[in-house]
């Protein structure tokens, strides 16, 4: 276990050290102490390492992650796992706005609640939120899966493309061109796998699926008010 004291050694040294790790590194386990809400912790990682952050973080923790597993023993500020490519980011607490924004791949697990715009413009990432999510989540989401064990706020899936949204609780309102869809066997299997990976114990049959009505793909004068 490699232990790094962020308060003593500084953020630049931390990220430089983590970026220096290669695919064949034998320093695979890292613990970061005293994060104290610092921004941009463990961003841009590209090695199969596991990083545990002992406390809460600020903006963009785990952004652009590739291959690494990042565990946050606390809550995170805006933009956690933004533009993540692969790997896993697990948050023990809550996440602020636009968690997992523009994520291309990998798995983001939030054990608490997520604020507004969770999964905005997601492009292949899988996001599992054990609590609730805020308004405008999955806005313009293109692909991937957003799973919510709690409730969803206003305008869920506004201007959605082909991402799949699974919500166990209530949805305050759906955004433009987002509708409830049939939960078919293949969706049950996708959801079952994501629930297992995220440590959730509920059954996939308890969820409803939401997706694009595909009415905004091309301009139609009859839909002008929705653009």
8-59 pLDDT per residue, tens? 999 999 999 999 999 998 999 999 999 999 999 999 999 999 999 999 999 9
Q: Indicate the SS3 state at residue 97.
A: coil
Closest C-alpha among 118, 159, 50, 117 to residue 108 = 118
Nearest-angstrom CA–CA distance, 160 and 67: 28
pLDDT at residue 216, as a whole number? 78
Q: Record the tokens describing residue 18, joined without a space.
A: 């983590």
Domain ranges in the chain are 2-214
Can you name the residues that pair with 171 across neighbouring β-strands? Answer: 152
Confidence of residue 224 (pLDDT cuts 50, 70, 90): low
Reported CATH class of domain 2-214: mainly beta
- The dihedrals phi and psi of 158, each to the nearest 5 degrees, come to -60, 130
Considering only CA atoms, which of 66, 36, 61 is closest in space to residue 49?
66
Euclidean distance between CA atoms 70 and 81, whole angstroms: 10
CB 18 within 8 A of CB 11: no
- The pLDDT tens digits for 91-135 are 999 999 999 999 999 999 999 999 999 999 999 999 999 999 999
Distance, in Å, from the CA atom of 45 to the CA atom of 139, rounded to the nearest integer, reads 26
Distance CA(159)–CA(171), nearest Å, equals: 16
Helices (H), the chain: 6-9, 11-19, 185-198
Query: What is residue 215's predicted lDDT score, i.e. its pLDDT?
Result: 84
Whether the CB-CB separation of 158 and 176 falls below 8 Å is answered with: yes
């Amino acid at each position: 276990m490699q232990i790094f004291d962020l308060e003593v050694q500084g953020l630049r040294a931390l990220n430089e050290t983590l970026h220096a790790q290669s695919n064949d590194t034998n320093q695979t386990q890292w613990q970061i102490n005293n994060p104290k809400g610092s921004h941009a912790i463990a961003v841009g990682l590209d090695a199969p390492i596991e990083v545990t952050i002992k406390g809460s973080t600020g903006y963009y923790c785990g952004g652009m992650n590739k291959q690494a597993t990042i565990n946050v023993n606390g809550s995170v500020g805006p933009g956690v796992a933004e533009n993540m490519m692969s790997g896993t980011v697990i948050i023990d607490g809550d996440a602020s706005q636009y968690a997992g924004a523009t994520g291309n791949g990998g798995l983001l697990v939030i054990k608490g609640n997520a604020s507004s715009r969770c999964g905005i413009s997601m492009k292949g990432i899988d996001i599992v939120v054990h609590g609730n999510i805020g308004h405008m989540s999955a806005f313009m989401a293109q692909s991937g899966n957003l799973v919510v064990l709690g409730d969803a706020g206003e305008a869920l899936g506004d201007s959605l493309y082909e991402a799949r949204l699974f919500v166990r609780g209530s949805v305050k309102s759906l955004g433009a061109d987002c509708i409830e869809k049939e939960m078919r066997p293949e969706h049950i299997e996708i959801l079952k796998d994501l629930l297992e990976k995220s440590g959730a114990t509920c059954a996939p049959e308890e969820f409803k699926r939401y997706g694009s009505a595909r009415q905004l793909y091309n301009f139609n004068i009859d839909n002008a008010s929705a653009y």
